């Protein structure tokens, strides 16, 4: 097998072990402390921030416009309309602004 296939397989195994490990650790407790629960609830926002922030810092006008549209649409609409509108703004913006 090629190196790429081995990397993909090991990444899959480690991802599975990480997910099952977290489940096994939390399943040992009868109740989860409110602070632990609050921390776990904050993880999706933290991951999203780590994905969006670096791109936003190096973004051009098209990316900023798409980010603003996505932020505004997230206040009112669901994920699919948000994605479609932001993608449309990004495509049009890149077409006209580079």
What is the overall mean pLDDT for the chain? 90
Predicted confidence at residue 46, as pLDDT, reads 87
Q: Is the pLDDT of residue 59 over 80?
A: yes
Alpha helices in the chain (DSSP H): 3-27, 34-57, 61-74, 79-97
Question: Domain map of the chain by residue range?
Answer: 1-30, 43-98
Query: Residue 30 carries which DSSP code?
Result: S
Is the distance from CB of 65 to CB of 93 less than 8 angstroms? yes
Predicted confidence at residue 43, as pLDDT, reads 86
Name which residue leads in pLDDT, 78 or 52: 78
For the chain, give the percent of residues with pLDDT over 70: 100
33: left (phi over 0), alpha (psi -120 to 50) or beta: beta
Is residue 75 classed as helix, strand or coil in its secondary structure? coil
Is the distance from CB of 63 to CB of 56 less than 8 angstroms? yes
Give the confidence band of 41 by pLDDT, cuts at 50, 70, 90: confident
């Amino acid at each position: 097998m090629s190196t790429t296939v081995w990397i993909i397989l090991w990444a899959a195994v480690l991802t599975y072990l990480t997910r099952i490990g977290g489940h096994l650790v939390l399943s040992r407790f009868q109740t989860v402390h409110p602070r632990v629960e609050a921390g776990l609830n904050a993880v999706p926002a933290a991951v999203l921030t780590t994905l969006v922030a670096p791109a936003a810092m190096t973004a051009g006008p098209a990316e900023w416009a798409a980010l603003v549209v996505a932020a505004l649409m997230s206040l009112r609409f669901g994920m699919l309309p948000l994605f479609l509108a932001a993608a449309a703004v990004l495509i049009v913006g890149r077409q006209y602004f580079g």
